[in-house]
Amino acid sequence: MIFSVVRRSILFAAVLLIFRANLFAQEPFQFPTANHSLYEIGNELKFFAPTAPDKPWTSGSFGCVRDNGTRMHEGLDIRHLQTDRRGEPTDPVMATADGTVAYFSKKPGLSNYGNYVVIRHVVEGLEIYSLYAHLSVIRPDLKIGAAVKAGEVIATMGRTSNAEVITKDRAHVHFELNVLVNDNIRAAIWVKFVNSLCWNPVAMLTQGTLGAIRDAANLVPTLRTMMREADALAAAMGLDVGPDPDKRIALTLSAPHHKMSMLQDLERGRPMEIDPLVSVVQEMGRLTQTPTPALDAVLALVVQRAKMAGLCAPEAPHTLNEAVFA
Ligand SMILES: [Zn+2]
């Protein structure tokens, strides 16, 4: 049970992301079954499996939704849509995004998850783990470390668990999205911010996927320079900036087909929040007397590009704290 050790240090906040339905309309996540009723307002009971027939649908959703709000439910209980002649659920369970199989357990008596699968994803440099529980059958050829595609069937829904009895009418997949908690959360947030600060403008200006940026002549060295400048700002403010930029670049490039969000915004004509990025760099530079010539140059270009496309978000007041540590 290697993964159960890892799991204890997992934060469940990322699952909140999936309530933003627009995320499902594009990369990076999709529903793990054919049940999409969450899109239909008022149809929550068709999507969530509550803990009992007399309980509200919210008891099948994420958060402190159980025992009068005192007990956490760390995922979504997504209802079955189809059954066999004996009333057992038969819904295929699919990978929520491209990733690699991190773990699975085919010993339902060992966990309240029953049979379950964990898949590791890298989204804009952030490691995210999806988990699918109470499965009846895990695909026999699934191997730990194997790549899976978004929407690829990995298992069949079931009712397995060593703790709770899941009745046929409540059959569901328990679905989680997790991020690994870091004991240096500020450094983790900083790494994510720097990732966005550097990769987004480069992707937007060159209109390439991460793979295209990797394959271009001098873009990775440019990104490295930008990241070093940003890290120097953080170091000057006493922040531990985590792993070396080269390690972070390698992690980001492990998803070569991904398009950064700022490029997706440009392509869809959506306003871009570039000002907070520029303001943070300027403010930190001013506070620490640290020059950032590469960042300044690239950010000036990206602001101009967004203005030309008519996509600069209206200026809003923002501070370093809001943008970096909110
Ligand atoms: Zn559950």
Answer yes or no: is pLDDT of 257 > 60.
yes
116-130, 265-279, 288-302 — which is least confidently predicted?
A: 265-279
Q: Which two tokens stand for residue 165?
A: 């009895």
Note whether 113 and 56 are within 8 A (CB): no
Other beta carbons within 10 angstroms of residue 2's beta carbon come to 9
Cβ-count burial of 310 within 10 angstroms (0-12 exposed, 13-18 middle, 19+ buried)? exposed
Q: What is the mean pLDDT of residues 157-179?
A: 93
Å from CA of 172 to ligand 1 middle? 8
Q: What's the predicted TM-score (pTM) here?
A: 0.57
> For residue 120, what pLDDT band results from cuts at 50, 70 and 90?
very high
Distance CA 130, CA 14 (A): 10
Å from CA of 248 to ligand 1 middle? 33
59-68, 151-160, 161-170, 313-322 — which is least confidently predicted?
A: 313-322
Å from CA of 115 to ligand 1 middle? 13
Å from CA of 74 to ligand 1 middle? 7
Looking at every residue in the chain, the average pLDDT score rounds to: 84
Residue 108: cis peptide before it, omega within 30 degrees of 0 = no
80-84, 124-128, 322-326 — which is least confidently predicted?
A: 322-326
> For residue 274, what pLDDT band results from cuts at 50, 70 and 90?
confident
124-152 b/e (C-beta count within 10 Å ≥ 16 → b): bbbebbbbbbbbbebbeebeeeeebeeee
Answer yes or no: is pLDDT of 326 > 50.
no
Q: What domains can be seen in the chain, in order of their start residue?
A: 2-180 (2.70.70.10), 185-325 (1.10.1040.10)
Å from CA of 101 to ligand 1 middle? 21
Distance CA 228, CA 230 (A): 5
Distance CA 122, CA 28 (A): 10
The gap from C-alpha 34 to its chain's centroid, in whole angstroms, comes to: 20
pLDDT at position 106: 94
Radius of gyration of the chain (CA): 22
pLDDT at position 182: 63
- Tens digits of residue pLDDT in 30-88: 999 999 999 888 899 999 999 988 889 999 999 888 877 778 898 999 999 999 999 99
Q: Please, which residues have CB less than 5 A from ligand 1, an ion? A: 77, 174
> For residue 188, what pLDDT band results from cuts at 50, 70 and 90?
confident
Å from CA of 60 to ligand 1 middle? 7
Strands 126-138 and 153-157: antiparallel
Highest average pLDDT, of 81-95, 97-111, 191-205, 281-295, comes from: 81-95
